[in-house]
Structure 1
Amino acid sequence: MSRTLQRPISIGLTIAMALALAVLSPKPAHAHDSCAIAQPAATGLLGSVLAAVNVFASILPTAEAACPDKYEGVDVKLTRDWLDEDEEEAGEAAGPRSNASKANPNSDAPPTFAPCRNGMAADFFPCDGVDMLSHVSHAELGTVFVNDIWGWTDPQSGKDYALVGSSTGTVFVDISDAKRPDVLGKLPTASTFGGSSWRDIKVYADHAYVVSEHTNHGVQVFDLTRLRDWDGTYTTYDMDAWYTGHGSAHNININEDTGFLYSVGAGPFGAPYEVTVDEPSSAAGVYDAAGASFGPAPTEEGLTGDFAIVDAESGLGSEGCDVLVDFPAGAIAIADRGGCVFTEKAKNAQDAGAIAIVIVDNQPGPPANLGGTDDSITIPAVRVSQHDGAIIKDGLDASGGISAKDETGPDCGTGLHMIDINDPKDPTYAGCFDDHGYIHDTQCVVYDGPDANYQGREICFNSNGIAYELEGRNYVSIVDVTDKSNPVSLSRLEYDGSGYSHQGWLTEDKRWFLHGDEGDEFLAGVNTTTRVWDVSDLTAPFVHQVFVNDTTSIDHNLYTKGDRVYASNYTTGLRIYDASDIAGAGISEIAYFDVYPENDNPTFEGGTWSNYPYFSQENVVAVGSIDRGLFILKPRGGRG
């Protein structure tokens, strides 16, 4: 074991990690206060799971009531639960661990190496044709929840590094000796409020670019060559540059051939509106405010009036969830968050004669947009932070106004937000495409596929999930982004059996787009399903094959390399598909390593989020495990 992983896990570290997990455990959604799934009429298991899934809810607001994180059921294992407790605590002093390596006791086999034998690795992980080279636990990574993963090969030294996304930042792991990895340290998240479960990482010109659904996270830029100077201790790194043209983002893709980064599912940085309190109030000043998905948006000219707390003297509370009593018509209403949906508060204020409503948050952190839909609302609604709201209320009686800020970042909605990173440490805004609404993931390439009309053009292939619902608004879309100031939609198609259009990747010849839908397994009750799109005509793609595996888990991220497909499928782990006869027989499974042996349920309770198969080391694949950390795997022979 390497010197970083040699250290026994101290009781203090374990306790600290457990406390961190308790602090970071999912809370009611703060960034958007809604579930992406419209609350179903179903009850029992169906109703419970649908109510729990919180997929990028800024796009489909529902009730303000607590909307649990979809990863609420994850049971994190900080240390290696697959090893005997005494072996785990003993560290390298115990020598090669027979549970893992099954090697000769006198060998120098690495302690966490476990070949796949008779369908199992370490007598714990189901497998077929894939060996475990090493496992790095959450405690060693300094994490409590792992999400995305990417990689980097140092062009100078040839070393391979895994870039491991987590709820608290990005961890750098040297896997050059894949059986003895070194954990170098972490780049902490740029923000700590909002959607902590999501982080995404890509690499360009020896720099890592990191986004998160944390509010106001922006794009972190980190010079990976700094890892060459690692001093052997767990290091906390700082970022080298920070792009704040957007705030949160769900995902990014980088076209390394052009030097353009594409953020998707992004939100604004900061708050686009402001609440002004006039002198002589003790609260006089300007306060950031977020907007709403209902009612008219505040204008730059704004509106002014006296502020009035709803129901302050009525005995009904200050949440505005009932008919307002003695509210002064023409005033700006102030209501506390909680008790009912945002639209109900706004409608009650409007019916009482308010010209606008300010909703005060009941959780710490920057303000986030108000979700909900009600076409009858005709007054603006904004949200201020808990901190600012308390100051404003303490300063009443007062007058003031609500307005849009004069200067905000580019408004790309939740589509393609294009960033020029040709100067890696100076990312600059390049363009937008929002005609298709929310884009969940994308792959952008200089096209050299079979459609001669678009060869040499820069084309983005998008997983365009609008609604988590069976046969809902889910699309695969293709956009020409060669001219960043005038991107052009080439096609946008729905498909049968959709649940949530999630992610996909092109084959190397760019004839096929392999696409995963994150909702169909649960919503339709089908086995793990991958759709193979024929994209030889970019204006008329169609589904060539629907590959239904014999597994039951939900699929997440997949990547192609040569004629192999590496799919991270939550509770059934890494699955490897053969795509050598994709035009004929289609794809089929040839190997797997299940990092979540507990079950194969179509849930988000654990397993693998993503993988990275592009290291310089042949057939080495890094696999992120939500609940167990990092696995370094190697398919055998022709399997990989």
Structure 2
Amino acid sequence: MKKLLLFTFIFSSISYSQTPCDTVTNRAGIYPCDDYALLSNIPLTTFEANSSSDSWGWTDSTTGKEYAIIALRNGSGYVDVSDPVNPIYLGKLISPVLNEFQGNWHDVKVYNNYAFIVSEISGHGMQIFDLTKLRNVTNPPVVFEDDGVYTGFGSAHNIAINEDSGFAYGIGTNTFSGGPHFVNIQDPPNPIAAGGFAGEGYTHDAQIVMYNGPDSDYQGIELFVGSNEDRVVFVDVSDKGNPQTLSEISYSDVEYTHQGWFTEDQKYFVVTDELDEVFNGNMLRLIIMDMTDLDNPVEHMQYIGETPAVDHNVYVKGDKIYLSAYSGGMRVLDISDIDNRNIEEVGYFDTWPADDRTSASIGDPGAWNVYPFFESGNLIITNFSDNGGLFVVTKNDNILSNPESKNDSFSVFPNPTTERVTITSEGTPITHIEIYDMLGKRLRVIEALDEMSKELNMAAFESGIYLVNLNKSTTLKIVKR
């Protein structure tokens, strides 16, 4: 793809501001919060875009680095967040087609080291980008070129990918009456059309899994779960040439069935309705479906939140729900007792602090998406607005429980870590490093240094807390996950 535009990128607009969530004021700087701290924020001006939407993440299996992908109005941006306090904006992939409004929102998912990007722009198709290019950016930011465009459909509202089967699903495309459009992406640069399914009409969003839940009748099938505006549909798509609807379910006060996600045991499916807060005056609401019997799903419960903000995208990791709720920001819910119909909000981070609404409205700004799947435990949030951009947040304990990780002379990031940390001196060069476990056993000594920054590989260390003594004078604490 030819570069369509030239950009002047302004590094000074990047905002780095690691800020704990104050437990008295419930603020991290200007942002309302509960138990979640701000690590950094990159505003939209840096990406030279006037709005953002979806987001996703990629972890490089070769280097262990974590990268954020932010969907923009005119393309997609790529950010190295392996040091979440000091993210590096690597560059931008421009949309293959821009309309008179210079774009529309984009959506992105990742498979096998490739990003797949779609948009509702007419003729956009599915853009393909090799993420391993991010390893070799030496003078960021740059304008990337894509690695192909699948043109079996033009516009698409969204894209879903089953990483276990290697199939992408164009969602809300201009084909198959807006039902899912199947694409074989097992060889990512060479996608192959694999049919589609129009039998249940327009799908707004979807999750596709290899089913291993409690219903023994359907073990091992490829299950498509579509949020289809006024109901949720469950379709066996194992045979792409002959998809079979298993069941569907709706719920009370339905306005717009938007999106959903399975719990990890695939017993429950969590559903958001994007417009019930707007038109029915509901507080934030999630509908939980019991999927013990795929032929006969039933409503298990409804969770009613404490804010009138509109719920948007929801994901489940472990026993937590991570929900983007526009003007309510990111909400985090504990579902460890979901069997007994107990769901409790345990944290939030509000990326739209200017909001003082007492009710929801169409087009609310704020958190469009939250990506919670990084092994580090850090999360990325994107706003749908002309403000905000990309936020990196983490549990408050990851900052507050490690006060030794930063002092006037030395700092260590990321902390906690899964593999590598970088120790940086703000004054005296680092000359000597010793690493101890919590029993006082010395595990490693690094001598004869004269460096202002030193990277440590902690991959061989077991999970736990370690003490790092620098220059025989200063001790920092590192948490290895």
Counterpart-to-counterpart distance in 1, 2:100 and 2:196 = 24
Task: After superposition, give the CA deviation of every residue in 1:432-490 in whole Å (9 maximum; x if it has no partner).
Answer: 1111110000000000000111110000111011xxxxxxxx00110000000000000
Of 129, 151, 172, the residue aligned with 2:57 is 151
2:220 corresponds to 1:456:
yes
- In structure 2, the residue matched to 1:561 is 317
Mapped contact 2:120–2:156 kept (Cα < 8 A): yes
Amino acid at match of 2:151: T
State the TM-score, normalized to the length of structure 2.
0.78
- More helix by percentage: 1
Q: 1:502 Cα deviation (Å)?
A: 0.2
Look up the match of 1:424. Answer: 188
Structure 1 residues 586 and 462, CA gap change in structure 2 (3 angstroms): farther
| Structure 2 partner of 1:113 | 18
Work out whether 1:602 is the aligned partner of 2:377. no
Match of 1:437 in 2: 201
Give the drift of 1:614: 0.8
Aligned to 1:240: 147
Does residue 1:621 correspond to 2:385, yes or no?
no
C-alpha contact 1:200 1:210 (8 A) present in aligned 2: yes
Q: Which residue of 1 aligns with 2:395?
A: 635
Q: Does 1:166 align with 2:42?
A: no
The residue type equivalent to 1:213 in the other structure is: E
Q: CA deviation at 1:8?
A: 2.7
The CA deviation string for residues 114-134 of structure 1, in whole angstroms up to 9 with x for no partner, is: 110024334411110000000
Distance in 2 between residues matched to 1:460 and 1:234, nearest whole Å: 38
Deviation at 1:193, TM superposition (A): 2.1
Cα distance in 1 for partners of 2:337, 2:191 equals 41
Equivalent of 1:507 in 246, 263, 274? 263
For residues 268-296 of structure 1, give each alpha carbon's deviation from its aligned partner in whole angstroms, at most 9, with x where no partner exists: xxxxxxxxxxxxxxxxxxxxxxxxxxxxx
The 5 Å alignment of 1:348-367 reads none
Find the counterpart in structure 2 of residue 129 from structure 1. 35
One-letter amino acid matched to 1:609 = W
Secondary structure of residue in 2 paired with 1:413: helix
Does structure 1 residue 549 correspond to structure 2 residue 309? no
Residues 81 and 87, structure 2, Cα contact 8 Å, conserved in 1: yes
CA distance in 2, matches of 1:128, 1:180: 23
Any gaps of 5 or more consecutive residues in structure 2?
1-7, 400-481
Partner of 1:531: 287
Letter in structure 2 aligned against 1:595: T
Q: Percent identity?
A: 39
What is the alpha-carbon distance in structure 2 between the residues aligned to residue 180 and residue 129 of structure 1? 21
Deviations 1:86-111 (A, max 9, x none): xxxxxxxxxxxxxxxxxxxxxxxxx4
Secondary structure of the 1:116 match is coil
Q: Is the 8 A contact 2:256 2:275 kept in 1?
A: yes
TM-score, normalised by the number of residues in structure 1: 0.59
Aligned-pair CA distance for 1:139? 1.4
1:390 maps to what in 2?
none
Post-superposition offset of 1:431: 1.8
CA contact (8 A) 1:114 1:121 kept: no
Deviation string for 1:553-590 (max 9, x for gaps)? 10100110000010000001000000101111332211
User: How far does residue 194 in structure 1 lie from its aligned partner after superposition?
Assistant: 7.7
Going from structure 1 to structure 2, the CA distance change for 1:616 and 1:547 (only over 3 Å counts) comes to same
Higher strand content, 1 or 2: 2
Rounded to whole Å, the distance in 2 between the matches of 1:616 and 1:152 is: 11
Alignment partner, residue 277 of structure 2: 521
Secondary structure at the aligned position of 1:492 is classed as strand
Q: Report the secondary structure of 1:221's partner residue.
A: strand
Aligned pairs for 1:181-200 (under 5 A) are 181-193=87-99, 196-200=103-107
Deviating 4+ runs (over 3 angstroms) = 4-7, 119-123, 194-197, 636-639
1:74 corresponds to which residue?
none
Distance 2:81 2:313 in 1: 21
Max radius of gyration: which structure? 1
Question: Which amino acid is 1:450 matched to?
Answer: P
Q: What's the CA shift string for 1:345-369, capped at 9, x where partnerless?
A: xxxxxxxxxxxxxxxxxxxxxxxxx
- Deviation of 1:198 after TM superposition, in Å, equals 2.4
Name the CA distance, whole Å, in 2 between partners of 1:513 and 1:194: 39
486 and 514 in structure 1: CA distance in 2 versus 1, 3 angstrom threshold: same
In 2, the alpha carbon distance for the partners of 1:590 and 1:156 equals 34
Name the structure 2 match of 1:493. 249
Residue 175 of structure 1: which of 81, 100, 114 is its match? 81
Alpha-carbon distance between aligned partners in 1 of 2:346 and 2:185, rounded to the nearest angstrom: 38
Counterpart check, 1:262 vs 2:149: no
The amino acid of 1:529's aligned partner reads R
| Residues 18-167 of structure 1 mapped to structure 2, 5 A cutoff | 111-117=16-22, 118-167=24-73
Give the distance between the partners of 2:152 and 2:196, measured in 1 at CA. 11
Q: For the structure 1 residues 463 and 242, does the alpha-carbon distance in structure 2 shift closer, same or farther, using more than 3 Å as the test?
A: same
Whole-angstrom CA distance in 1 between matches of 2:11 and 2:29: 25
How far the C-alpha of 1:539 sits from its partner, in A, is 1.1
Contact 2:147 2:189 in 1 (8 A): yes
- Distance (whole Å) between structure 2 residues aligned to residue 423 and residue 554 of structure 1: 38
| Partner of residue 8 from structure 1, selected from 5, 12, 16 | 12
Q: C-alpha distance in 2, partners of 1:532/1:439?
A: 19
Tell me the number of residue pairs that the alignment of Structure 1 and Structure 2 aligns.
Answer: 386
Cα offset, 1:628, TM superposition? 1.0
Supply the distance in 1 between the matched residues of 2:9 and 2:173 (Cα, whole angstroms).
37
Contact 2:47/2:77 (CA < 8 Å) preserved in 1?
Answer: yes
Q: Distance in 1 between matches of 2:177 and 2:161?
A: 19
Cα offset, 1:637, TM superposition: 4.4
The farther-off stretch of 481-490 and 542-551 is: 542-551
Partner of 1:292: none
Residue 207 of structure 1 is matched in structure 2 by: 114
Q: CA deviation at 1:232?
A: 2.4
* Cross-structure match for 1:447: 211
CA RMSD of aligned residues (A): 2.0
Match of 1:462, SS state, is strand
Secondary structure of 1:578's partner? Answer: strand
- Determine helix, strand or coil for the equivalent of 2:338: coil
Contact persistence 1:146–1:165 (CA under 8 A)? yes
Matched letter for residue 114 of structure 2: H
**Matching residue's letter, 2:47:** L
CA distance in 2, matches of 1:623, 1:539: 35
Cα distance between partner residues in 1 of 2:315 and 2:371: 8
C-alpha distance after superposition, 1:117-166 (max 9, x if no partner): 02433441111000000011111222210100000000111100000001
Q: Measure how far apart 1:5 and its partner are.
A: 9.8
Q: Partners in 2 of 1:171 and 1:217 — Cα distance?
A: 17
Deviation at 1:542, TM superposition (A): 1.3
Give the alignment of 1:268-347 within 5 angstroms. Answer: none
What is the CA–CA distance in structure 2 between the aligned matches of 1:8 and 1:481, rounded to whole Å?
48
Query: Following TM superposition, by how much is the alpha carbon of 1:413 offset from its aligned partner in structure 2, in angstroms?
Result: 2.0
Name stretches of at least 5 consecutive residues in structure 1 with no aligned partner: 10-78, 81-110, 268-410, 466-473
488 and 119 in structure 1: CA distance in 2 versus 1, 3 angstrom threshold: farther
Query: Contact 1:213–1:250 at 8 Å: present in 2 too?
Result: yes
